[in-house]
Amino acid sequence: MSVQSSRAHITLSTLNKLHAEGKKFASLTAYDACFTQILNQADVEVILVGDSLGMVLQGHDSTLPVTMQDMVYHVACVKRGNSRAFIMADMPFMSYSTDSETLDNAASLMRAGAEMVKLEGGAWLASSTRLLAERGIPVCVHLGLTPQSINQIGGYMVQGRADKQAETMYQDALALENAGASMVLLECVPTSLAKRITEALNIPVIGIGAGPHTTGQVLVLHDILGISPIRPKFVKNFLAGTEGDITRAIQNYAEDVREGRFPGPEHSFN
């Protein structure tokens, strides 16, 4: 049964208003109803049901084995536990390779409770983005380090350090906004590039390992609680010093994001 709340539900309009006012918002991953309720209590604005569940929950070494069935199941779990946050869901590997697959799979996620879908790629996603946006499905496009392309990239490394790659990413972001994207997520890109893209777009930009200048920040929940076996440079353990209070740790993360205290230089890339 869904948890009821007197607080207003966060919508895309809410996030656009925060962006227009120069205010920041916090996002975290969640994959079940229990943690979703805790994120609601901690006032996290955006919940990402990420295909990161393949590594965090399922024990795979990448996100590639995650299926649409997996994603629909976990989106539905999060929806049942949610009372306030805006829910974004990943389209898993090869679930948007054709127009018909894109529409059918995005519709499945929206029926399960998503309010936005996230696709990984560059300007080549413009037609898919336009297709979804024209049919009322908000799209977030994921640029930079795109885990679904890990075999092509060759490893989990910072993207956009070379001038040519940085310019391509910048132009991709502009093209995708023009195609109807409602949001952009930048992963593992230099702070200066993330700042340039954020300032050029009229839509919110969420960063993970992208420095402090983006509209929002997102991290994997298990990472900020210090229970992941590997902790990337852009992660901070917010559970440390809270005597094991998970809700307080998540509140600290959300407050630090909104106040601009996180991420710091030690969590960012030059």
For residue range 113-145, list pLDDT tens digits in order. Answer: 999 999 999 999 999 999 999 999 999 999 999
Q: Are the C-beta atoms of 15 and 204 separated by less than 8 Å?
A: yes
In this predicted structure, what is the pLDDT of residue 151?
94
Given the residues 21, 115, 187, 266, select the one marked as catalytic.
187
143-159 residue pLDDT tens: 999 999 999 998 899 99
Element (H, E) at 51: none
Please confirm whether the linkage preceding 147 is cis (ω < 30° from 0): no
To the nearest 10 degrees (0 to 180), the angle between helices 33-41 and 68-81 is 50
Contact present, 161 and 132 (Cβ < 8 Å) = no
Nearest to 263 by CA among 18, 26, 15: 26
Q: Output the pLDDT for position 6.
A: 45
Kind and range of the H or E run holding 120: strand 116-120
Q: Is residue 189 a contact partner of residue 269, using CB atoms and an 8 Å limit?
A: yes
Containing 240, the helix (H) or strand (E) segment is none
Q: How far apart are CA 29 and CA 219, in angstroms?
A: 7
Q: Is 187 annotated in the active site?
A: yes
Q: What pLDDT does 155 receive?
A: 87
Separation between Cα atoms, residue 42 and residue 12, nearest integer Å: 19
Report whether 177 contacts 184 (CB < 8 A): yes
- Cβ atoms of 249 and 28 closer than 8 Å: no
Residue numbers in the known binding site for 3-methyl-2-oxobutanoate are 51-52, 90, 118
* Distance, CA of 137 to CA of 114 (rounded, Å): 10
DSSP 227: -
Predicted local distance difference test score (pLDDT) of residue 122? 97
Measured CA to CA, the distance from residue 191 to residue 188 in angstroms comes to: 9
The Cα 110–Cα 230 span in angstroms is 32
Beta bridge partners of 29: 48
What residue numbers does the annotated binding site cover? 51-52, 90, 118, 120
- State the binding site for Mg(2+): 51, 90, 120
Kindly tell me the sign of the dihedral angle through the C-alpha atoms of 3, 6, 11, 17.
negative
Going by C-alpha positions, the residue among 119, 120, 109, 114 that lies closest to residue 70 is: 109
User: For position 231, what pLDDT does the model report?
Assistant: 86
> What does residue 210 show for φ and ψ, rounded to 5 degrees?
-125, 15
What parts of the chain have a pLDDT lower than 70?
A: 1-6
Which residues is 184 bridged to in the sheet?
141, 205
Predicted local distance difference test score (pLDDT) of residue 212? 98
Q: Phi and psi (nearest 5°) for 112?
A: -75, -15
